[in-house]
Amino acid sequence: MKKKYNIGLLNGTICSKDGKKRASIGIKNNKIIKIGKVNEKECMKFIDCKEKHILPGIIDTQVHFREPGLSHKEDIYSGTNSALLGGVTTIFEMPNTSPATISKIELEKKLKIAKSSSWVNYSFFIGACKDNLNKLSQLENLKGCSGIKIFMGSSTGTLLLSDEKDLAKALKTCKRRVALHSEDETRLKKRFKLIDTKKGVSQHEIWRDKESAILSTKRILKYANKYNTKAHILHISTKDEIELLKNTKKNITAEVTPQHLTLFSPNCYKKLGTKAQMNPPIRNSNHRNGLWKGIYDNTINVIGSDHAPHTLKEKKMKWPNSPSGLPGVQTTLYLMLHHVNKKKISLEKVIELLSFNPAKIYKIKNKGQIKKGYDADITIVDLKKNYIIKNQDMAYKSGWTPFDGLKVKGYIYATLVNGKIKMIDKKIIGKPDGKMVQFKK
């Protein structure tokens, strides 16, 4: 008997942003070709999903994989390997590598590396800077480019666009979705002079205070609304920004990280020290609650990991010399499944924030939904299984997670990328063969 399907996902609970239903999925080549009744005899391979939930593959639109130039911290191979273990099937990688991704040449270097070493589907942001302001409209339309990324607060090398006239020009020029790191550089410089560095990392959120974020976000809204720019504000950290975003145009979207939804100060700094240091900083529970409200009222559109790894040796440096950033691409879905089981959020909402909306906002072709004809990028989870997040299970080069020892409920059982089973029960299968993301016009 000729097999109809390369892979069958049998008798699972298929989940979308709109609800759940019991059904099977038939996959041929890299596409979903059947949703309904599928017999195991029709399949070359199958996974019994009877006690499991089948989700659209997770899309992480904010990761830093450090290659080229900083690959002692992470590289595309190790970062995407970690992504697979975290149920992530597509990543957008940030431009603050060394050299920075600010030109077609540097973008093509990354695409070449990813073609042979990425386990998941990939795309790369190009960073805006003074040197390429006049070329952004061409750069944002290059194949393999996720869009333009703007750093408004302290970053690395030349990737800083803090002058108001430069920001205005960039937001007027770009027609695709623009991702922005929102902190006011002038205020950060002034406030740092007032900080007692001897008090350590507890001063991080005092230095990079809420006003630094609010001022910057107001400036983004001013020009994005003026020019009708599709702006996407990353890692929102204050309840005040949520209020600002509620009253703005629909062309503005916003993202929050799982660490801002899960950790809060001063507890995180007392427990984790510089391991909790990131930009913008983890703030108090009042702000954390404000971010959750932003999710409930649809002000927040996306959850992104902001996976930004550093070695433990680097992290152990005395603040403020310690680098900002936490690893997270492998733990984002674990944390969100745990919040689902704690009744903090519905599974449907998690799918909307981690799959459907990223695909919609960035106009990704054939991803973000379990739908006939779509790419078979799929994440299979067991909501009932307990799991302990451990450093030794992280595939990161840095080898640590701020959530080490956390007991969560919800287990990522399998990850399928382009119709192939690439991870099952913590085992990686095959070789890296992720594809460059395709975008709709």
Percent pLDDT > 90 in the chain is: 96
Which residue, 247, 228, 351, 336, is CA-closest to 292?
Answer: 336
Is 306 a residue of the active site? yes
Sorting pLDDT into bands at 50, 70 and 90, what band is 250? confident
**Average pLDDT for the chain:** 96
Could you give the domains of the chain? Answer: 57-361 (3.20.20.140)
- Pairing of β 19-28 and β 5-16: antiparallel
CA 236/CA 257 separation, integer angstroms: 8
Model pTM score: 0.97
Average pLDDT over residues 374-390: 98
Catalytic residue among 306, 375, 377, 382: 306
pLDDT band at 162; cut points 50, 70, 90: confident
pLDDT at 224 over 80: yes
pLDDT of residue 248: 85
Class of residue 393 by CB neighbours under 10 A (exposed 0-12, middle 13-18, buried 19+): middle
Residue 155 has pLDDT above 70, yes or no: no
* Distances, alpha carbon 108 to alpha carbons 77, 86, 142, in Å: 17, 27, 10
What are the tens digits of pLDDT across the range 163-212? 899 999 999 999 999 999 999 999 999 999 999 999 999 999 999 999 99
Lowest-confidence range among 97-106, 218-227, 240-249, 260-269?
240-249
Residue 9 Cα to chain centre, angstroms: 26
